[in-house]
Chain A
Amino acid sequence: MGVQLELSDIQLIEKVQEGDLSAFEIIMSRHKPKVAAVIMGMLGDADATEDVGQEVFIRFFRTIDKFKGDSELSTYLIRIAINLSINEINKRKRRHYVSFDDLYSSDSSDPHDRENSPDNRDLREILDRAIQTLDSKYRKVIVLRLVNGYSTKETAEILDLPLGTVLSRLARGQKKLQEILKPFYNNEATHLNTL
């Protein structure tokens, strides 16, 4: 590989601009775990995550000259990932609407099928689906802060929002999640505490 792995992101970008595609591969391998985690948090669907992830890096390659290094490259890529995820969410909304009730609807036609009843569903799955029902402005902060573990300051920087806005959206987003998950809490309090 013609490019040293120790090079900084900015140095790698310069190499890419000179036509060295192996530098782009290093950038991609360096940042793809964070990009994948954010998109998966936003979409909750591995196939869509793969497609949107590809689009993130292709979009970055096409507009690489626009990256001026004002923010960290990871921040820049996550911004692209969030924006493309929201585009995907909007496309899905146009295709079909998912209501809160769908969260607890059983895949089985048998109402007595205990395996598929909400009580026995994995909390994580329910929580992921609950996050998918949130409005995108809440979803963004919940995914970055709660799912991906960015600090509130980092979340504010990635989303280019004031810290106060991030905190209030976090509060509202969490309250909405609690409301959505109320039926689950009632039955699974013990399970929840063991996770």
Chain B
Amino acid sequence: MDMNQLHFPILSLVTFLPLVGAFIVALINEEHENLIKYVTFAFLVLDFIVSLPLFFYFDPTTYHMQFVERVPWIKSLGFQYYVGVDGISLFLVLLTTFLTPLAQLSTWKAIDKKVKLFNITILLMQTGMLGVFISLDMFLFYVFWEVQLIPMYLMIGIWGGPNRVFATMKFFLYTFAGSVLMMVAIMALYFLHHKFTGVYTSDMVKLMQSPLPYHLQLWLFLAFFIAFAIKVPMWPFHTWLPWAHVEAPTAGSVLLAGILLKMGTYGFLRFNLPMFPDMTHAFAILIIILAVIGIFYGAFVAMVQPDIKKLVAYSSVSHLGYSMLGMFALTQVGVEGSIMQMINHGISTGALFLLVGIVYERRHTRLISEYGGLASLTPAYAAFFMIFTLSSIAVPGTNGFVGEFMVLLGAFLYKHIWGILVAFGGIFSATYMLTMYKRVFFNKVTNPKNLGLPDMNIREWLYLVPLLVFVFWIGIYPSTFLSKMRVSVEHLLKQVNRTTVVSSAKSEQVSMVKTVVVKKG
């Protein structure tokens, strides 16, 4: 068993602590609802605390996997329990441990039935999500990838809105159909890798080191592409997303937008880019086109939404389009921007869903037309909403600006036209967010039902302030985060910019596969 710099299985602890929590909560009698909430929250906070050493002990000078643990798992095929993080996955792990307790805190009032089951579900989901980001064995990765579908499926289906069953079935089947194709690709990768190197391995780090020859990359790339594109979701695979978001309970939306969608973008970074470098270059332009369509499509559709939550859901399509654009621009600043955009989207969209949840809890409606003039009634709420709105439309000084600016710069360096074109996308996102803000918060109070609306309570402050801190931290001093991902991204791009050439078409032996490292221009 390999051990890491801490000589302690910290990643396993972080990942499975919530699972332990789920077992403990399962033992509590369901009548003690408050106890269940406190215990769950305590476990999630504890999980965040134990994940902090990952940040402080992370060595930013190496691209190698850190905090590695490796135990044989299924011996007959050589699958391992192999986990670790690098500068790319580190922040997604931390985002997960950071966001889930806040999401759970938002449910204390909102979830009033089957409280115990809900809290168990949220704990199980935490384990599933973390598992995806730390797995370095592709079989293990796939297991976690599918496992986390189950709690989300239950969360939307049990605690969701009126159309919850349709929404959750669509969510599950759509994602499942995409991921089973990825399963075949994982199997094929396993056997093809053996054919060319003589080694059976499901070790992702090894698979990244020796990509398959050009002609075999196409189908595998496409299978992974479909699975991840559905998850992101990229236009035109996004149709499950608005349904899932609108029907999901607030915490479900927060985790869906904040973390689950990042699995798609993360998957691209882990599989498609390093393992299929030739196809990455070949398909970059196509994916960029889809990403740009997504940016504009999401923004346009968001403009006409009467429902705040649906508006935020469509804005996700747009924001993740930026992330995909930055990634496939294949420049250092673009990929870093893409990762920043993932984190930022988790923070600002997560916060916006929480904010929508707050007002929904009080008024049981999310229609923009039902509101108006809330700024005078609930000033603190309006202020929070303003800040996260600005962060979502990427105003300088907020986190959104950093990510979006880097993505634009990356796209500009790739080809000027994309940078210029997409810069206009910012105008549209400002349009839909600010129009919505104006209609909800400004003018006079037109709807008498809103008159007695109470402002935010302490619990709500408690889960929004941490998010606020990061809006400005990332917005003002992003180096804290960027410095840790730089080396890993550099290494990733080195892998992407190496293209394989088969020198003799007759033979398919590994010795015939040459690796040509193309120097960056």
Answer whether A and B are interacting partners.
no
